[in-house]
Structure 1
Amino acid sequence: MPAARRIDTAKPRCAWCGTDPLYMRYHDEEWGVPVHDERKHFEFLILEGAQAGLSWITILRKRENYREAFAGFNPERVARFGKREVARLLKNPGIVRNRLKIESAIKNARAFLEVQDEFDGFDKYVWRFVGGKPIQNRRTHMKQIPARTAESDALSKDLKKRGFSFVGSTIIYAHMQAVGMVNDHVTGCFRYKQLTRR
């Protein structure tokens, strides 16, 4: 495994990532970067659902455990999970051992595959909700960032209609931020300009 690059702590960042190196690296390298990879979309759906009621840093610290427990975030494999796998996951201390969240991840894998079939990819389906390109917000302070938007309301409603769970509008807005469907880096953050140039 290659050594992690050194983090320049002097760069101006969004305040939410604090000084935790894992959080800072996630902020610098992933958050807000447009995702067009099917497995990455599925990964964030599982992780955002697991995060409900918890802090995101808690989930980031368990991310590798989730990757191992959920078959490398392969939706085809997770969709085949049954009672034996649920029982195994409920005993896994490396993930959030919540039956509803575990069963939701399996249910969502099945719904994810149906969306892939219908739209020739989950990516094509999900990006329609923002017109195919990232919404570039111009927020100067964290307090200006909403917990949900009209777009997340619409996507959440449609996902629920398609059988997904743990996809409330707040969770879905966090997903949209994570996969770069919206750029919510504050304007003073060094990543803001980088992501608006894409």
Structure 2
Amino acid sequence: MTTTPRRLIVLTGPTAVGKGTVEAKLREHHPEIWVSVSATTRAPRPGEINGVNYWFLTEQEFQAKEAAGEFLETAVVHGMAHYGTLLQPVLDHLASNTPTILEIDLQGARRVKQRASELGLDVLYVFLAPPSFEELKRRLIGRGTETPEQQARRLETAKIELAAESEFDVTITNTTVDQAAQELWTLIAREYQINA
């Protein structure tokens, strides 16, 4: 029996590729997986629960934790709210051999890479890719949650994010949610020495 903490799994990919949907499908079949809950300074939206959707912190609380080195990574989103991944829960779950995932955007993944090397943290970086850019565009427009202007901005961002695929250890193409979730589970099972 090894006491070496397992690798942290960092899942990223372009906007609208389905990271959250794949992660939800994975947890549906494998509830033993722990997905990190981000901290934020933005106000809770209706129905959001502290500690489930996000850890809701005041600006002062967030800055104090950041100054104390309590985050694995942080970002300011849309020039307003701060977001971050609390380090200690990640370390605790890895030490207990619990399959641990960070579902994060490209900038966050790059910050994790920088901080992980400082901490000596072992990380497997997984890139979730669409079958094609046209399919990504179809999915984004099909969601109907953004205005045409927002869609255009997201698609421009997606082109930049797609160009970063080579920075990652493994690519999973999200052809179907079930297939992508199964491929991700196979990776996790191998990393954590679980019989898939």
**How high is the TM-score relative to the length of structure 2?**
0.28
Which structure has more helix as a fraction of its residues?
Answer: 1
Which structure has more strand as a fraction of its residues?
Answer: 2
**How high is the TM-score relative to the length of structure 1?**
0.28
